[in-house]
């Protein structure tokens, strides 16, 4: 029996095939502007199949012709789609994503063409609106409790569990969105976005009457499966027409979601709340039935034995296995069985929880493993996703589509970086700390895009549904795709410290998606990772001054609790976002070693750090005394500035630290007058140390601030065990 909703979406997608245009596509970031920062000369995308190559992702100034072969391959792939309507629709969506993500569109109607919206985003938003009908509703969902769920786990188990827990939350978000679409009778085209614990979908307007019921059913399900740790808040707003101000619409949905978050589980009936929250559990708090990873206590049957720690709850045991299998994964195989929320009545494995919502996930580590799984499921329809797509994988994707027409094949970038030992086990945080240079610490890096809500809500010109979808997809391609390649780039570190490749695999990507990331690794590696991410984001957005990231980096000893490390890194991120304004810019900074420095000062900071590091390679003892002098000077400068600010006075270069610095630097120069390298460095320091104080825009860019941080950074880098 045909589904009229699928038929409407399929008809819309089929019409969009004819909208292929050879006009180069402008970057969506061209449309991010303000009264003080007008749009600059446009950047253009290079039309090609999607991959994680630099030429595919990064825009260029010149308008490069769309290859004729790309259209020929696109139409050939469309012609090979299944005759089954629901499968054909999903296949067409994946083919548009593959071939038309960087291609513009044209219409034969009087509809205006948007030069920054790709054919893929145009087609999928048109299909979503077509399926929903004349009266549509934008539904948003947001999982609360994510931070505690991921990070409040035992420190000695964190490395094994983190990656799996993070990926499980990604899939849980998608499964919840899929459940909402299934309840509304909507096809896959109506999921606009899923990531970072949040999703948006378009459903028929009459579904507004069911939102409260959906909250109740999902609230009951998550209360049973997660014991109140997680909750999905829902909100919705009616779409007036296709030309509606979708920026205001998304804000309205988010306001409703926030209101629901403040009243978690409020839609549950009193009996359910009483039985789940205020009734004795029956296990009497038996410490023997306690999960070694998350601390969950419950009936004995909800645990599995663990050789190292005793017992693990079903959820933690499954996420540890999930994280282990993800390290070498190449493919995700997703199927959509009928949802049965009632099958989960307590703590369950991640696989069972997702299946109850109507999402079945299998991981294949190799092509041969995938072929075996496809043959095993030849009578069903699977959605197979390549999770790290490169140019070499595109021929494979074409081949799979041709051979297995009953399945859907697409690309899905996932930042999937997990450090492993030679025996295949995941490195612990202790091992990451031991592998770092200098002081033995592991680091936690948190970054996110500054003022993202303002970018979507106010800085994006003409915020249509297609434009908002394009902007969301663009950010996702960077944070879910390119960030992973940065984390894998061993040359990034070895080129700075002239190290060999023996110190590879020091990065653990806990999460990267949407507009933010959380990375654990050797402390010495993370500052360079953070700088590369912000530098590449600038290139990726066409150096748009309104789009930038802030970062917080904290250092921790072995066995330090992860949830505390996460909080401290977040505090460092908040401090970076409180950075003093420079001209028309604020935020856009890094907090590292308890000092905040603007990203525009980072190249100078690294230059000082490298000069001190290189000098240390030749003159160990002398450099230690120089570092101590520089740190003391910065401390005196900082204390002097604090006193002046507290008294309401303007900070100046004048103070006791000036003549202390002059005297101590001169003494070092005299003691080592035969060392030309040191002499040149000291003269350079002396010439620039006391400049720039009359320019208020130089705050956080002054040489004394850069040198103070560079000296401390270098000192920690040369620290030896026992220092």
Q: What is the tens place of the pLDDT at every residue in 627-661?
A: 998 999 888 888 877 776 677 766 555 667 777 77
Q: What is the pLDDT of residue 33?
A: 86
Q: What is the pLDDT of residue 306?
A: 80
Q: What is the mean pLDDT of residues 355-382?
A: 93
Element (H, E) at 686: helix 676-688
What confidence tier does 328 reach under pLDDT thresholds 50, 70, 90?
confident
The gap between the terminal CA atoms of the chain, to the nearest Å, is 75
What confidence tier does 327 reach under pLDDT thresholds 50, 70, 90?
confident
Q: What is the pLDDT of residue 309?
A: 67
Q: DSSP label at 262?
A: T
**3-state secondary structure string, 147-165?**
HHHHHCCCHHHHHHHHHHH
What confidence tier does 284 reach under pLDDT thresholds 50, 70, 90?
low
Each residue's pLDDT tens digit, 507-563: 898 888 888 899 999 999 999 999 999 999 999 999 999 999 999 999 999 889 988
What's the gap between Cα 229 and its chain centre?
A: 22
What confidence tier does 15 reach under pLDDT thresholds 50, 70, 90?
very high
CA gap 163, 321 in Å, rounded: 10
Each residue's pLDDT tens digit, 632-641: 988 888 887 7
CA gap 395, 128 in Å, rounded: 29
Q: What is the pLDDT of residue 649?
A: 67
Q: What is the mean pLDDT of residues 216-228?
A: 92
Q: What is the pLDDT of residue 457?
A: 81
Indicate the SS3 state at residue 457.
Answer: helix
What confidence tier does 300 reach under pLDDT thresholds 50, 70, 90?
confident
Q: What is the pLDDT of residue 688?
A: 82
CA gap 508, 167 in Å, rounded: 13
Q: What is the pLDDT of residue 664?
A: 84
Each residue's pLDDT tens digit, 129-171: 999 998 999 999 999 998 889 888 887 778 888 889 999 999 9
User: Is the Cβ–Cβ distance between 347 and 296 less than 8 Å?
Assistant: yes
Query: Can you give the pTM of this predicted structure?
Result: 0.92
CA gap 573, 589 in Å, rounded: 9
Q: What is the pLDDT of residue 19?
A: 95
What confidence tier does 283 reach under pLDDT thresholds 50, 70, 90?
low
Q: What is the pLDDT of residue 111?
A: 78
CATH number of 420-592: 3.30.70.270
Q: Which residue has the higher pLDDT, 243 or 138?
A: 138
Token readout for 410 is 């697409």
The residues facing 363 across adjacent strands are 332
Q: What is the pLDDT of residue 378?
A: 86
Token readout for 211 is 């939102």
> Is residue 466 packed enough to be buried (19+ CB in 10 Å), middle (13-18) or exposed (0-12)?
buried
User: Residue 490 pLDDT more than 80?
Assistant: no
Q: What is the pLDDT of residue 496?
A: 62
User: Is the Cβ–Cβ distance between 257 and 141 less than 8 Å?
Assistant: yes
CA angle 397, 165, 505 (to 5 degrees): 70
User: Residue 501 pLDDT more than 60?
Assistant: no
Beta-carbon contacts of 27 under 8 Å, excluding residues fewer than 6 positions away, are 42, 43, 44, 45, 59, 116, 474, 541, 542
Each residue's pLDDT tens digit, 332-367: 999 999 999 999 988 999 999 999 999 999 999 999
Q: DSSP label at 479?
A: I
Of 321, 370, 347, 345, the residue nearest 168 (C-alpha)? 321
Each residue's pLDDT tens digit, 192-217: 999 889 999 999 999 999 999 999 99
Q: What is the mean pLDDT of residues 593-622?
A: 87
Q: DSSP label at 207?
A: G
CA gap 520, 419 in Å, rounded: 10
User: Residue 691 pLDDT more than 70?
Assistant: no
What are the start-end ranges of the H helices in 377-482?
Answer: 391-403, 429-435, 452-454, 465-477
User: Residue 108 pLDDT more than 70?
Assistant: yes
Q: What is the pLDDT of residue 281?
A: 60
CA gap 645, 654 in Å, rounded: 14
What confidence tier does 280 reach under pLDDT thresholds 50, 70, 90?
low
Ordered by start, the domain boundaries in the chain are 1-132, 420-592, 598-723
Q: What is the pLDDT of residue 500?
A: 45
């Amino acid at each position: 029996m045909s589904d009229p909703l699928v038929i409407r979406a399929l008809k819309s997608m089929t019409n969009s095939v004819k909208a292929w245009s050879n006009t180069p596509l402008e970057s969506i970031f061209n449309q991010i502007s303000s009264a003080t920062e007008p749009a600059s000369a446009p950047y253009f995308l290079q039309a090609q199949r999607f991959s994680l190559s630099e030429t595919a992702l990064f825009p260029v100034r010149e308008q490069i012709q769309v290859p004729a072969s790309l259209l020929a391959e696109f139409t050939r792939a469309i012609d090979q789609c299944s005759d089954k309507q629901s499968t054909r629709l999903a296949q067409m969506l994946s083919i548009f994503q593959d071939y038309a993500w960087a291609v513009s569109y044209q219409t034969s109607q009087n509809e205006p063409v948007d030069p920054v919206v790709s054919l893929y985003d145009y087609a999928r938003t048109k299909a979503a609106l077509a399926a929903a009908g004349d009266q549509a509703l934008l539904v948003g969902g947001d999982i609360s409790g994510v931070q505690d769920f991921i990070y409040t786990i035992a420190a000695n188990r964190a490395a094994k569990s983190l990656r799996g827990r993070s990926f499980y939350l990604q899939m849980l978000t998608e499964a919840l969105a899929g459940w909402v679409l299934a309840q509304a009778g909507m096809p896959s085209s109506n999921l606009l976005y899923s990531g970072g614990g949040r999703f948006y979908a378009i459903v028929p307007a009459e579904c507004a009457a069911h939102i409260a019921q959906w909250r109740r059913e999902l609230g009951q399900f998550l209360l049973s499966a997660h014991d109140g740790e997680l909750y999905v808040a829902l909100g919705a707003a009616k779409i007036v027409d296709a030309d509606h101000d979708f920026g205001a619409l998304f804000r309205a949905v988010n306001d409703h979601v926030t209101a629901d978050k403040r009243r978690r589980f409020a839609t549950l009936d009193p009996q359910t709340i009483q039985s789940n929250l205020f009734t004795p559990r029956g296990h009497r708090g038996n410490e023997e039935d306690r999960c070694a990873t998350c601390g969950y206590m419950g009936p004995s049957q909800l645990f599995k034995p663990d050789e190292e720690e005793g017992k693990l709850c079903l959820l933690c045991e499954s996420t540890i296995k999930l994280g282990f299998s993800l390290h070498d994964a190449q493919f995700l195989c997703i199927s959509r069985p009928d949802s049965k929320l009632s099958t989960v009545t307590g703590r369950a494995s991640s696989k069972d929880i997702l299946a109850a919502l109507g999402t079945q996930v299998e991981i294949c580590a190799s092509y041969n493993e995938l072929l075996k799984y496809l043959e095993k499921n030849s009578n069903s329809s699977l959605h197979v996703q390549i999770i790290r797509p490169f140019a070499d994988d595109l021929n494979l994707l074409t081949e799979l589509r041709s051979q297995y027409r009953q399945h859907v094949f697409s690309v899905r970038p996932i930042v999937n970086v997990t450090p492993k030992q030679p025996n295949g086990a995941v490195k612990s945080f202790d091992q990451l700390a031991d592998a770092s240079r200098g002081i033995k610490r592991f680091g936690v890096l948190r970054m996110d895009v500054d003022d993202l809500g303002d970018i979507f809500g106010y800085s994006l010109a003409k915020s249509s549904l297609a434009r908002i979808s394009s902007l969301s997809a663009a950010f996702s391609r960077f944070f879910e795709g390119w960030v992973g390649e940065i984390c894998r780039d061993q040359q990034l570190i070895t080129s700075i410290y002239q190290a060999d490749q023996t110190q590879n695999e020091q990065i653990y990507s806990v999460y990267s998606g949407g507009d933010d990331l959380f990375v654990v690794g050797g402390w010495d590696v993370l500052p360079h990772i953070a700088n590369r991410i912000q530098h590449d984001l600038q290139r990726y957005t066409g150096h748009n001054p309104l789009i930038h990231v802030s970062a917080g980096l904290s250092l921790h000893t072995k066995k330090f609790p992860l949830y505390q490390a996460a909080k401290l890194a977040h505090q460092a991120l908040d401090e970076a976002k409180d950075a003093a304004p420079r001209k028309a810019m604020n935020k856009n900074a890094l907090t590292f070693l308890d000092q905040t420095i603007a990203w525009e000062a980072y190249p100078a900071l690294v230059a000082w750090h490298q000069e001190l590091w290189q000098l240390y390679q030749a003159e160990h003892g002398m450099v230690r005394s120089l570092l101590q002098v520089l740190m003391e000077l910065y401390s005196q400068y900082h204390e002097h500035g604090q006193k002046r600010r507290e008294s309401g006075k303007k900070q100046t270069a004048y103070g006791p630290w000036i003549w202390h610095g002059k005297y101590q630097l001169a003494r070092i120069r005299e003691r080592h007058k035969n060392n030309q390298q040191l002499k040149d460095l000291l003269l350079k320091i002396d010439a620039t140390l006391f400049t720039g104080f009359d320019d208020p825009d130089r705050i956080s860019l002054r040489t004394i601030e850069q040198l103070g941080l560079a000296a401390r950074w270098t000192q920690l880098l040369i620290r030896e065990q026992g220092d």
